[in-house]
Structure 1
């Protein structure tokens, strides 16, 4: 039996045009950090090229060692900047910081990651394989929606989320903007890309 976290965790689905308040459970991720425009930054390319080989090595290791097979999850990212307008109106990507992530089953331990890292070093691996870490993220209460279209068209959706939906629900933003990439930009036309846009929040007291 192959475990597919996308099918087991309800918050890996969202609907276009609808902002939903959800409770995201704690999840373990392979993570690597960077800064700058993802379209211009070699660091971003190197991070993606380092995450996936390690994720597939980890998949093979768990299957062989524990009899646990799982579907490698889609790429995700946390994004932030000192001024949130850099995401909405300005879209100044040079000011963005990011953490790229791939979710893994909670059976994964740091020892498994180190074993996968050692195996990757002997074969196909990216230049930042040594920087990838295993970390648990618990976002809890969030508002999310599905964006369909180019990444650069997200601005109005994010503005609506930040300026209308969050305060309108009696909430305030707390954590980092989170995107889950359900489409592969190498194989999917920009207008058909599907991205879950998620914002951690908390309820306003009073």
Structure 2
């Protein structure tokens, strides 16, 4: 049985350091959990990850057994925003951040298999505390600009500034949708200066309609 690695198979998960790339993202489905606050200190953030991963791995096993499809559990992803955008892009006031943490669900997996995985995880004695907050949802971002950031999460601001204030307007585009990150590195095991994070920003032509 071939094991599919979605982050290598999907074009939208390719990015290079120092290069801004315009991509068209199709509709994708994710397991999602929402929250607010500093991801370094918020119990809600930790609980979100402790909810997403057991369901994702249970779903992977079910895909192999019931559908004959094996795959690498995709990387963690996050949507990030703040009521005042400077709290995210420049001031980096993490206590004011809102987030949705996500794990991609392959397109061959039917919703009922996701429901069965959630039910199975819920039946365990140590069931995740935020399982009732988990949902399966489609995300359609459409036109996006993305790049690869290598380094600490706290060093993203200059890259985002260049993306938002120079590259995007110079291409006749404007921001729409929500800042999106894909974590290619496990931040629990990789030194901050070596972290690899895809930074994605949905955009539209200046004056165009927002389809996100």
Normalised by the length of structure 1, the TM-score is 0.96
Alignment of 1:160-175 (within 5 A): 160-175=162-177
Where does structure 2 lack aligned partners over 5 or more consecutive residues?
none
Mapping of residues 103-182 of structure 1, within 5 Å: 103-123=104-124, 125-182=127-184
Q: Could you say which residue in structure 1 is the equivalent of 2:25?
A: 24
Q: In structure 2, what is the Cα distance between the partners aligned to 1:48 and 1:134?
A: 15
Match of 2:200 in 1: 198
Q: Is the 8 A contact 1:2 1:69 kept in 2?
A: yes
Unaligned runs of 5+ in 1: none
Asked whether the equivalents of residues 46 and 127 of structure 1 are also in contact (C-alpha less than 8 Å), the reply is yes
Q: Match of 1:37?
A: 38
Matches of 2:97 and 2:36, distance apart in 1: 6
Query: How far is the alpha carbon of 1:73 from its aligned partner?
Result: 0.3
Equivalent residues in 2 for 1:51-62, closer than 5 Å:
51-62=52-63
Counterpart of 2:6?
A: 5
Q: What's the offset of the Cα at 1:108?
A: 2.1
Shift in Å, 1:109: 2.5
Q: By how many angstroms is 1:173 displaced?
A: 0.5
**1:12-54: CA deviations, max 9, x gaps?**
1100011111111211111110011101100000000110010
Q: Partners in 2 of 1:127 and 1:67 — Cα distance?
A: 31
Matched pairs, number: 206
Q: For 2:136, what is the secondary structure of its paired residue?
A: strand
* Worse overlay, 126-135 or 27-36: 126-135
1:205 Cα deviation after fit: 4.1
Name the SS for the 2:89 alignment partner: coil
Once residues 93 and 205 of structure 1 are traced to their aligned partners in structure 2, the CA distance between those partners, rounded to angstroms, is 31
Give the secondary structure class of the aligned counterpart of 1:83: coil
Aligned pairs for 1:77-88 within 5 A: 77-88=78-89
Alignment partner, residue 15 of structure 2: 14
**Distance in 2 separating the partners of 1:186 and 1:205:** 42
What does residue 76 of structure 1 align with? 77
SS at the partner of 2:18?
coil
Q: TM-score, normalised by structure 2?
A: 0.93
RMSD of aligned residue pairs (Cα, Å): 1.3
Using the alignment, how far apart are the partners of 2:87 and 2:159 within structure 1? 14
